[in-house]
Structure 1
């Protein structure tokens, strides 16, 4: 038989996000019924197969459900009760908040973003407004003002049209990168620079005004390395950026040296003037 080639259904995963795990298990079970033609057999076989496939941990949950003997004979009743356990009633306001807060990640492609939106929307009870809400969230949450501007230019934008525009823009960016990597990188740099300027947070080049040499250089390339400051005698420091204040002994030594030089200069000047005066020449004669 053809259905004998169908692999067995995986048991209910009881770890991680049990809501998503239950939704996946339930959908897989419905498909498994049709694929194996179990849906054409008696419900007692449905129940026995379901209880066998769900796994030990899920079966323990089933045993503790408040079901009557009659209800335990109905596979639909079992699924409904398990669903109430794994996926309890949610707060619609909070679910819609999560949906309306969803934004595309910088390196996330449009299809992955759209899939996240669809998953969040399943618990928002939007009903007939679902496509419009997905379209609006796609426009608001998509990365890149250029794509958003293109979407807003459409006077009659539908969900499918928004998806097509986002996909084509995404493919165009990929093709540009492959055709001219340098131009694409430049465009990316300009976009980041504009975003930085808009946010008011200008980036500062690394190692500007190095405190050891007073110049700009890359890390580990300071020209003052290996030199000795003439002011403080510290290593790896230029004197022109040295902030060391001389102590009292250095000040006094400087004052004494300056005073001695001034006294010596005055005495020399006086000696020269004396030797050149007429009175001194008369006495000498």
Structure 2
């Protein structure tokens, strides 16, 4: 949204952009990546990712103790964030949950099958 102002006989155009909403750290399952940055340098990609995620992401990234080379590598930073936000699953536990799932009397077949598919994904 550009506002045009006349200052000292010249037209000046300003653009005010609101930053996107910060990443909600209480909902890590919504972890996603910034798209459209593949043409930029790794350092610019990392900076944009941290900007969009917010201050808490910067604090988390600082706790990774990455080298300067790793900090400038988008792939290395994303790999570390993924391992931070997506915990390892206990396969045995997930199998037990799947095997114990039963269909209550008031549940439709479609709902039950959908629930089984969701459990099977894990």
TM range (shorter): 0.5 to 0.7
Q: CA 1:118–1:107 in 2, change beyond 3 Å: closer, same or farther?
A: closer
Question: Which fold has the larger relative contact order, with Cα–Cα distance below 8 Å and residues 6 or more apart in sequence?
Answer: 2
Other-structure match for 2:119: 120
Q: In proportion to residue count, which structure has more strand?
A: 2
Other-structure match for 1:72: 71
Please state how far the C-alpha of 1:65 moved relative to its aligned partner.
1.1
Larger Rg: 1
Summarize the alignment of residues 43-58 of structure 1 with structure 2, pairs less than 5 Å apart.
Answer: 43-58=42-57
- After superposition, what is the alpha-carbon deviation per residue over 1:99-157, rounded to whole angstroms, capped at 9, x for unaligned? 2233456356826851x44443333xxxxxxxxxxxxxxxxxxxxxxxxxxxxxxxxxx
Q: CA 1:109–1:51 in 2, change beyond 3 Å: closer, same or farther?
A: farther
Structure 2 CA distance for aligned equivalents of residues 117 and 76 of structure 1: 34
Are the equivalent residues in 2 in contact too, given 1:11–1:25 (CA < 8 A)? no
Summarize the alignment of residues 1-285 of structure 1 with structure 2, pairs less than 5 Å apart.
Answer: 10-15=21-26, 18=28, 20=29, 24-26=30-32, 29=33, 32-33=34-35, 37-104=36-103, 106-107=106-107, 110=110, 114=114, 116-123=115-122
Structure 2 CA distance for aligned equivalents of residues 9 and 103 of structure 1: 42
- After superposition, what is the alpha-carbon deviation per residue over 1:176-227, rounded to whole angstroms, capped at 9, x for unaligned? xxxxxxxxxxxxxxxxxxxxxxxxxxxxxxxxxxxxxxxxxxxxxxxxxxxx
Indicate the SS of the match to 1:40: coil
Are the equivalent residues in 1 in contact too, given 2:43–2:71 (CA < 8 A)? no
Are the equivalent residues in 1 in contact too, given 2:71–2:77 (CA < 8 A)? yes
Structure 1 CA distance for aligned equivalents of residues 25 and 74 of structure 2: 20
Please state how far the C-alpha of 1:42 moved relative to its aligned partner.
2.2
Indicate the SS of the match to 1:89: coil
Are the equivalent residues in 2 in contact too, given 1:95–1:120 (CA < 8 A)? yes
Question: Which ranges of structure 1 fall in alignment gaps of 5 or more residues?
Answer: 1-7, 124-285
- After superposition, what is the alpha-carbon deviation per residue over 1:49-98, rounded to whole angstroms, capped at 9, x for unaligned? 10101122232211111322211111221121122222232221112212
**Moved segments of 4+, more than 6 Å:** none
Are the equivalent residues in 2 in contact too, given 1:44–1:73 (CA < 8 A)? yes
Structure 2 CA distance for aligned equivalents of residues 112 and 119 of structure 1: 10
Are the equivalent residues in 2 in contact too, given 1:47–1:73 (CA < 8 A)? yes
Question: Which ranges of structure 2 fall in alignment gaps of 5 or more residues?
Answer: 1-18
